[in-house]
Amino acid sequence: MSTNDVAAFARALPKVELHVHLVGSASVPTVLALAARHGAATVPSDPAELAEYYRFRDFAHFVDIYQTVNALVTGPADVTDLVVGLARDAAAGGVRYAEVTVTPMSHVHVGMDPAAVADALLEGRERAAAEFGIELGWIFDTAGELGVENAWDTLDWVLKHRPEGTVGYGLAGPEIGIGRALFTRPFTVAREAGLHSLPHAGETTGPATVWSALTDLGAERIGHGIHSVTDPRLLDHLAEHRIPLEVCPTSNVRTGAVPSMAAHPLPRLLQWGVPVTLNTDDPGMFDCDIAGEYLVAHEAFGLTPAELAQIARTGVDAAFCSAELKRTLHAEIDALALPEI
């Protein structure tokens, strides 16, 4: 079996993407177009220089750069363009359903009308379905470094606008010094309002953060969660309660969350029986796509096509789409012929 066979299989496999940030999905051409549209000189205007700009020294540097790109998104048309671009790229990689993480207050903070942000997302969602046949759900998150006030503002925005496709409430940004428990109350209110709890935890800090996400925030999936690997009791808990991890291998290497792909805990998580899903996180900034993440799992960790199909099934099970779409995706995955080894 050649790499080409597995690459084609990884692309053809019907997939869901559960961890992808709207702004981080902006490809190099999209960022260049945004900067040109607004005459912004805050990011390089040359594609090669922009690719270099996306070389992150560490996680803090990544967060800084993310914010620079975020500041280029200043109007509703920018938001719609990002959604359509994300949908186009995801569909090209074989994604059928994506839960997109959007940080609404970051758009409101640069002066956009709150209702216009919701309308722009909906327009993008409709175009994603019509033009690329991909269904989108929304996870609305707050950045931890902006504190609990911003978490409440985000929740107010969600409860007021609740665009069609809304599935959950999230928490991203740095983890060091920003305990998940700070956000217990907004997450409690969000859950009472029927939103799924989908925080990041265990990306740049250890198992204690994941425990806090579970016990304080009622997390139903964990964004990243890779550093759970050092706590056998936590691994048992995740496996027993079927709590999926949204694993993003290329992201983890690019932000320095793991020292190298060879050191990535993905194989150990799988061996322990933890539900693992594969995702891109910020595909525009990390120059990755979802089919490529499945191929990485084959090339770096030796996962077989049957094991890749099983990860795709885990993703479907972990998604908050309709039961009907889940049945369709499961049937299509089951029907796909495995390349011979």
Instruction: Give the number of residues in contact with Zn ion, rule: CB under 5 A.
Output: 1
* CA–CA separation, 180 and 187 (whole Å): 10
Ranges assigned E (strand) in the chain = 15-21, 95-102, 135-143, 166-172, 196-197, 200-201, 222-224, 245-247, 276-278
Which residue's CB comes closest to Zn ion? 281
Does 17 help bind Zn ion (rule: CB under 5 A)? no
Nearer to Zn ion, 32 or 217 (CB): 217
Name the binder of 24 from ligand HPA, Zn ion, none, CB < 5-8 A by kind. ligand HPA
Beta carbons within 8 Å of 322's beta carbon, 6+ residues apart? none
User: Which residues bind to ligand HPA, rule: CB under 6 A?
Assistant: 21, 24, 66, 172-173, 200, 203, 281-282
Q: How many residues does the chain have?
A: 341
Which residue's CB comes closest to ligand HPA? 172
Name the binder of 293 from Zn ion, ligand HPA, none, CB < 5-8 A by kind. none
The least CB distance from residue 80 to ligand HPA, in Å, is: 20
The least CB distance from residue 141 to ligand HPA, in Å, is: 8
Nearer to ligand HPA, 174 or 218 (CB): 174
Nearer to ligand HPA, 89 or 281 (CB): 281
Chain centroid, CA 203 distance in Å: 12
Q: How far from 279 is each of 252, 289, 329, CA to CA, in Å? A: 11, 8, 17
Q: Which residues are catalytic?
A: 203
The least CB distance from residue 90 to ligand HPA, in Å, is: 16
* Closest C-alpha to 274, from 241, 316, 297: 241
Name the binder of 168 from ligand HPA, Zn ion, none, CB < 5-8 A by kind. none
Nearer to ligand HPA, 97 or 286 (CB): 286
Nearer to Zn ion, 165 or 223 (CB): 223
Name which of residues 237 to 296 contact Zn ion (CB under 5 A): 281
> 3-state class of 134 per DSSP?
coil
* CA–CA separation, 251 and 135 (whole Å): 24
> 301, exposed or middle or buried, with CB in 10 Å at 0-12, 13-18, 19+?
middle
Name the binder of 320 from Zn ion, ligand HPA, none, CB < 5-8 A by kind. none
**Would you say 245 and 219 are in contact if contact means Cβ atoms under 8 Å apart?**
no
The least CB distance from residue 227 to ligand HPA, in Å, is: 13
Q: In what order do the strands lie in the sheet with 222-224?
A: 200-201, 222-224, 245-247, 276-278
Name which of residues 32 to 61 contact Zn ion (CB under 5 A): none
Specify the DSSP element, H or E, that contains 235.
helix 232-240
The least CB distance from residue 95 to Zn ion, in Å, is: 16
Site residues (vs Zn ion, CB under 5 A): 281
